[in-house]
Structure 1
Amino acid sequence: MAGSTYGTGPALIGITTDLEPARWSDWVREAALLPVSYLHAIERARAVPVLVPPSIRAAVPVHVERLDGFVIAGGADLDPGLYGEQPHERTGPPQPYRDGFELTLLRAAIEADLPFLAIGRGMQALNLVREGSLIQHLPDVVGGDAHAPASGWTGRHRVQFSPSSTLGRILGEQAEVPTRHHQAVKRLGRGLVAVGWSEDQVVEAVELQGHRFGVGVQWHPEEGDDLRLFEALVRAASDDRR
């Protein structure tokens, strides 16, 4: 089992980032970008956040060896070619560098039994790693835009959980969650179990069978005040450090 080799102390949680052009001061450069809410959530859960930008795939074993767990963060749409489909007109442009890196990182974390929390795009990436597929534009299927009320805005809706699941034990039978996504699971991937659903029956949470903490959520817990998911991740990631 991999994980940090730096002894006791707070767990080191890697958080994946985007690569996008950004402006600061007089500079305009490609930058590793991540909403600061992810960092605050991990810090408030009493762990140390470590940014993991897309890199060469040879870097993945180093991350797996030195970090105690991962948050696979939200972001842009995954390339539909990864699950054998042509892009929908509302699907964003592909980001093959990030896609390839994060799918490789997820496979390695699963193989090493490292705890991870996959959020939004991250849950969708987890589903693809397990040979699942995605709904490319939810309003075509469920009607309306309850899952992504407007560009740049976060909405809220309720999620019902399986009471026997890890998430059910953490969050209870239901919770109101911050939401911002226009894609979702279509065909569930191998070894994944759906454990959370919105009122319109969109899969909102999955768990990887046989993994000590392999959880995917379609909503954005980092945008709310409920730290229970992050605290559960940190507890699982801290087990080997005691």
Structure 2
Amino acid sequence: MSEATRQAPGGPGDADRSPPVIGITTYLEPARWGVWVREAALLPAPYARAVERAGGVPVMLPPTGGLRGVDALVRRLDGLVIAGGGDVDPDLYGADRHPETGPPQPQRDRFELALVRAAVEADLPFLAICRGMQVLNVARGGTLVQYLPQEVGNEDHAPAVGMVGRHRVHINPTSAIGKIMGDGADVPTYHHQAVKRLGKGLSAVAYAADQVVEAVELQGHRFGIGVQWHPEEGDDRRLFEALVAESAGR
């Protein structure tokens, strides 16, 4: 991590610097507004607010079919958030579909896998959140646990349908996340899948009490962090501030 990671925007010279542009991936879902029911690119507002409050300019990235433009897109961004959402298709990591795994979203899966790979290649700072961390792991050749309650014997990671819960995570204090957040935190959580086999170059740096991997880092990347929790749903802005600071220094 560079010095920019440790200094949030607001220091000398920042008045002359444009705020970094942070792309945020989106859902592609049917939605209703006014008299219309149409397919729409959707993003829960807390993502954009978290980026803006951290000093960045949020830009929504709909899952387009034109994958040849992904490299050009990455070159125009200063940073990236891979947002949460539905389950990654288990076919993409060579597994049979579990009954509790959600329906496939091939366009979003293809787009986000290509986007993550391009961001890694370009050394673009990124924060991968919940599904985003799972996309990162699959993009690096890893696999996923498809239904955590069956694996760990509890529902602590998604305690109520449609409601964000909280639990404690234990963080390696020498990791990049540990230097940002310390050795532990109570975090907002809502997920029923998680990392199983780590992808190439990823290190697990935080765990829940039941040993579910809660955060990963991409070794050798200037800022490549994935968290299984939802920092945009809480008041702790440190991860977004660190992403924006690193993106501003790019």
TM-score bin (small chain): over 0.9
Q: TM-score of the superposition, structure 2-length normalised? A: 0.92
Q: TM-score of the superposition, structure 1-length normalised? A: 0.95
Structural mapping, 1:192-211, within 5 Å: 192-211=202-221
Counterpart among 119, 123, 126 of residue 129 in structure 2: 119
Q: Hey, what does 1:161 align to over in structure 2? A: 171
Structural mapping, 1:160-239, within 5 Å: 160-239=170-249
Letter aligned with residue 8 of structure 1 = R
**Counterpart-to-counterpart distance in 2, 1:10 and 1:86:** 44
Does residue 18 in structure 1 map to residue 19 in structure 2? Answer: no
**Counterpart-to-counterpart distance in 2, 1:207 and 1:153:** 27
Structural mapping, 1:135-154, within 5 Å: 135-154=145-164
Quote the offset at 1:61 in angstroms. Answer: 1.6
RMSD over aligned Cα, in angstroms? 0.9
Does residue 79 in structure 1 map to residue 98 in structure 2? Answer: no
Deviations 1:169-202 (A, max 9, x none): 0000100000000000000111000000000110
Q: Hey, what does 1:48 align to over in structure 2? A: 57
Does residue 37 in structure 1 map to residue 46 in structure 2? Answer: yes
Quote the offset at 1:144 in angstroms. Answer: 1.6
**Counterpart-to-counterpart distance in 2, 1:216 and 1:116:** 8
Deviations 1:49-99 (A, max 9, x none): 000010121221221111101000000000000111111000000001000
Q: Hey, what does 2:7 align to over in structure 1? A: none
**Counterpart-to-counterpart distance in 2, 1:88 and 1:194:** 24
**Counterpart-to-counterpart distance in 2, 1:186 and 1:65:** 31
**Counterpart-to-counterpart distance in 1, 2:73 and 2:241:** 21
Residue ranges of structure 1 left out of the alignment (5+ in a row): 1-6
Residue ranges of structure 2 left out of the alignment (5+ in a row): 1-15
Letter aligned with residue 21 of structure 1 = P
**Counterpart-to-counterpart distance in 2, 1:167 and 1:65:** 25
**Counterpart-to-counterpart distance in 2, 1:51 and 1:129:** 21
| SS, match of residue 181 in structure 1 | coil
Q: Hey, what does 1:64 align to over in structure 2? A: 74
Counterpart among 100, 109, 114 of residue 104 in structure 1: 114
Q: Hey, what does 2:8 align to over in structure 1? A: none
**Counterpart-to-counterpart distance in 1, 2:214 and 2:121:** 24
Percent identity at matched positions?
65
Give the number of equivalent residue pairs: 234
**Counterpart-to-counterpart distance in 2, 1:65 and 1:147:** 35
Letter aligned with residue 38 of structure 2 = R
| SS, match of residue 243 in structure 2 | helix
**Counterpart-to-counterpart distance in 1, 2:35 and 2:116:** 36
The structure 1 segments of at least 4 consecutive aligned residues displaced by more than 2 Å after TM superposition are: none
**Counterpart-to-counterpart distance in 1, 2:62 and 2:198:** 27
| SS, match of residue 187 in structure 1 | coil
**Counterpart-to-counterpart distance in 2, 1:233 and 1:171:** 13
Q: Hey, what does 1:91 align to over in structure 2? A: 101
Does residue 9 in structure 1 map to residue 18 in structure 2? Answer: yes
Deviations 1:180-239 (A, max 9, x none): 000000001110000000001100000000000000000000000100000000011011
